[in-house]
Structure 1
Amino acid sequence: MKLLKHTTEHIQEVVTDPCGDIKTKFKRLAIPIGSLGRLEELATVYISIRGSVNCTIKHKTIFTMAGDHGVAEEGVSAFPQQVTRQMVQNFMDAGAAINVLARHVGAKVVVVDCGVATHLNKNQFSNQCQEQDLRIKKVGLGTKNITIGPAMSRDEAIQALEVGIELVEEELKNGLDIVGTGDMGIANTTPSSAILAVLGKLDVETVTGRGTGLDEEALQRKIRIIKKAIDINQPDPHDPIDVLAKVGGYEIGGIAGLCLGAARHRIPIVLDGFISTAGALIAHAIEPKVKGHLIASHISAEKGHKLMLKLLDKIPLLDLNLRLGEGTGAALGINLIEASIKLLNEMATFQEAGVSEPNRE
């Protein structure tokens, strides 16, 4: 709890372009004002968070947080629980979608065992690539079944949050200019939907989607299960740690901690999809000043994601019908943000290019 308290106490409000330096720099470039659209907005957001108009993006890390969920035994996913462990192997073998996209944008992937239901260690993964790193930060061997009782204890919820904070602190030693969030956990759209329903005070039917591809009968069962979990556990919407403990997940708590830890050091956080944004909702409920550090990479095909982004007042950069997770959307978002910073730093000014400036009224 001490680390969590220290972190939240040192998160500062983000003020957009407080001295007007970013706007002035864009006005000098040999382009019509505002012609780069949301790329100008992206550069402005990134620089406002970092606090320097001359900042660059060199060190990019995507954290893929893995954890299992006891509610999987209720049949809320189209895939068996062992897929979480198998996908961690795939991440470490550099064969997953996030590995491909991270290589494409020049980002490092850190795979984190927050609560996979089997014991993992680095020696199990013989085909490790330099682009991947495995961190064992296990809070427990998967959460408990939320239709029976709380997913975890309050102490475990705090531990999960502090896992995310610790990851940021560790990665700062290697250099860290931007953070991407990702997830892996069979059945994790179920706790994410529950978190959204509770914190957003929304109907379960409104927030619950098909996850990995449920048919209509399975979807209705999932809705009933989420309602049951909320009724049994009675999570307090005014206490985000209670919500995380009652109906959340270890990797969701870890993502929330990433958001808090990065915000404490004025590092922009690029959110992936539904599960990552559930973590961001928890972080925002703990400390609202986190919001200014968040960038929504895309809008997921998962039904409730649009509602999550509305609660955070975020407009996504992309709409590609993605619903994979892993950090794939975050990787694409990082690519756009880096492009926006390069445009601001590398384009010629009117004077340098020998181009006439626009007429002034």
Structure 2
Amino acid sequence: MTESPFADIRRLIATMPEADAEAAGAVAARDAELTKPAGALGRLEELVAWLAAWQGKAPPSLDRPLVCVFAASHGVTRRGVSAFPDAVNRQMLDNFAAGGAAINQICATYGLGFKVFDLALDVPTGDICEGPALDERGCVATMAFGMESIAAGTDCLGIGEMGIGNTTIAAAIYAALFGAEPAHWVGRGTGVDAAGYARKVAVVETALAHHAGHLSDPLEVLRRLGGREIAAMAGAILAARLQRVPVVIDGYVSTAAAAVLHALDPSALDHCLAGHVSAEGAHEEVLERLGLKPLLALGMRLGEGSGAALAIGLLKGALACHRDMATFAQAGVSGRSGA
């Protein structure tokens, strides 16, 4: 029998490394000597330990943080699920290249690397109401492409996306993985009106019915209901784990890629941080189901890695405090008394 193309992905998941407890312990030991009360920096202290545990070194580094945005188009958009036309996909890539998008400004402010990946933008995936978005080989090849996104090296990866119609795709993935009525997962996306929202719900309902009986495998959910950007982000998250690179996930659509990996192995996201909770759909509930506590809650729903980039900026601040604060001994400050 010919082996499924998905077999390679399952083998990689089985080889995922664990966190480095010794590195995290070294961060905690230094933290206890810094000129502040224990725990005074709250979650910032935990974040530095998390970075160290997944980079496998103390102190950790954020010398080459990178935000990757994966762009794709979707056949389902012909059903009127977005307030914007498909032409926006190419126009936004041009805007990224010209430095005119929000993500460009955030990355420049925090000194983050930024890459955009065009995933056959002019070739939409299949309409999920009529057939699978991708075949198995195409899905695995796209995941492999996403895995190559960090080939040049990085010490922290932020993942984001851009693709008209992809909030509908994400909602379909969540409905397949978690159950509940499709309307529970569908949001307003780019700002559709009531009629557009109803079309989105109907599309998800139709897609789930069409693919019924084939959605027990998370990788089948990905290829049948997903898109190239979601497959590529799943590949990037997995590659980062294998190379001990911490990951910051962006919003509603990016989290759909993480949800597929979590469904395959609940430990697959241990090296991931939720950059923010989006105002889109039921993102907060999704994060709770995945065991991810968002770092920011700003009411954002832009996508394009914006929330992930802001969160990496906060990580840089946390690391600077840990690395550059004086210890009690260095500053000549008295430590905690025995009282």
TM-score, normalization by structure 1: 0.89
Distance in 2 between residues matched to 1:342 and 1:53, nearest whole Å: 13
Q: Which residue is 1:342 aligned to? A: 320
Distance in 2 between residues matched to 1:35 and 1:17, nearest whole Å: 23
Q: Report the Cα offset of residue 328 of structure 1.
A: 0.6
Distance in 1 between residues matched to 2:297 and 2:56, nearest whole Å: 29
Distance in 2 between residues matched to 1:287 and 1:171, nearest whole Å: 27
Identity, % of aligned pairs? 37
- Paired residues of 2:23 and 2:58 also in contact (CA < 8 A): no
Q: Which residue is 2:72 aligned to? A: 67
Distance in 2 between residues matched to 1:48 and 1:178, nearest whole Å: 12
AA matched with 1:10? T
Q: Which residue is 2:136 aligned to? A: 154
- Paired residues of 1:71 and 1:147 also in contact (CA < 8 A): yes
Q: 1:237 to 1:298 in 2, by over 3 A?
A: same
Q: Report the Cα offset of residue 241 of structure 1.
A: 1.2
Q: Report the Cα offset of residue 41 of structure 1.
A: 1.4
Task: Pick the aligned partner of 2:52 from 47, 50, 68.
Answer: 47
Task: Pick the aligned partner of 1:108 from 103, 110, 113.
Answer: 113
Q: Report the Cα offset of residue 6 of structure 1.
A: 5.5
Q: Report the Cα offset of residue 171 of structure 1.
A: 2.1
Q: Report the Cα offset of residue 289 of structure 1.
A: 2.8
Does structure 1 residue 212 correspond to structure 2 residue 212?
no
Q: Which residue is 2:279 aligned to? A: 301
Q: Report the Cα offset of residue 279 of structure 1.
A: 0.9
- Count of aligned residue pairs for this structure pair: 334
Written as runs of structure 1 = structure 2, the 5 A alignment for 1:203-242 is 203-234=181-212, 236-242=214-220
Q: Which residue is 1:196 aligned to? A: 174
Q: Which residue is 1:166 aligned to? A: 148
- Paired residues of 1:13 and 1:289 also in contact (CA < 8 A): no
Task: Pick the aligned partner of 1:144 from 122, 126, 148.
Answer: 126
Q: Which residue is 1:137 aligned to? A: none
Distance in 1 between residues matched to 2:10 and 2:185, nearest whole Å: 31
3-state SS, counterpart of residue 303 of structure 2 = coil
Distance in 1 between residues matched to 2:135 and 2:143, nearest whole Å: 13
Does structure 1 residue 274 correspond to structure 2 residue 252?
yes
Deviation digits for residues 233-269 of structure 1 (CA, Å, limit 9, x no counterpart): 1264431110011110000000011100001111011
Distance in 2 between residues matched to 1:19 and 1:177, nearest whole Å: 16
Q: Which residue is 1:138 aligned to? A: none
Q: Report the Cα offset of residue 303 of structure 1.
A: 1.8
Q: Which residue is 2:232 aligned to? A: 254
Q: Report the Cα offset of residue 301 of structure 1.
A: 0.5
3-state SS, counterpart of residue 291 of structure 1 = coil
3-state SS, counterpart of residue 294 of structure 2 = coil
3-state SS, counterpart of residue 58 of structure 1 = coil
Q: Which residue is 1:79 aligned to? A: 84
- Paired residues of 2:35 and 2:327 also in contact (CA < 8 A): yes
AA matched with 2:139? A
Distance in 2 between residues matched to 1:72 and 1:360, nearest whole Å: 66
Does structure 1 residue 94 correspond to structure 2 residue 99?
yes
Distance in 2 between residues matched to 1:299 and 1:30, nearest whole Å: 32
- Paired residues of 1:71 and 1:146 also in contact (CA < 8 A): yes
Q: 1:194 to 1:19 in 2, by over 3 A?
A: closer
- State which drifts further: 81-90 or 45-54: 45-54
Task: Pick the aligned partner of 1:333 from 303, 311, 332.
Answer: 311
Q: Report the Cα offset of residue 86 of structure 1.
A: 0.7
AA matched with 1:307? E
Deviation digits for residues 276-329 of structure 1 (CA, Å, limit 9, x no counterpart): 101111122234332111101100000221122112111111111110100111
AA matched with 1:337? L
Q: Which residue is 1:265 aligned to? A: 243
Displacement over 6 Å in runs of 4+:
none
3-state SS, counterpart of residue 150 of structure 1 = coil
TM-score, normalization by structure 2: 0.94
AA matched with 1:164? G
3-state SS, counterpart of residue 182 of structure 1 = strand
Distance in 1 between residues matched to 2:285 and 2:231, nearest whole Å: 20
Q: Report the Cα offset of residue 207 of structure 1.
A: 0.9
3-state SS, counterpart of residue 290 of structure 1 = coil
AA matched with 1:157? C
Gaps in structure 2 of 5+ consecutive residues: none
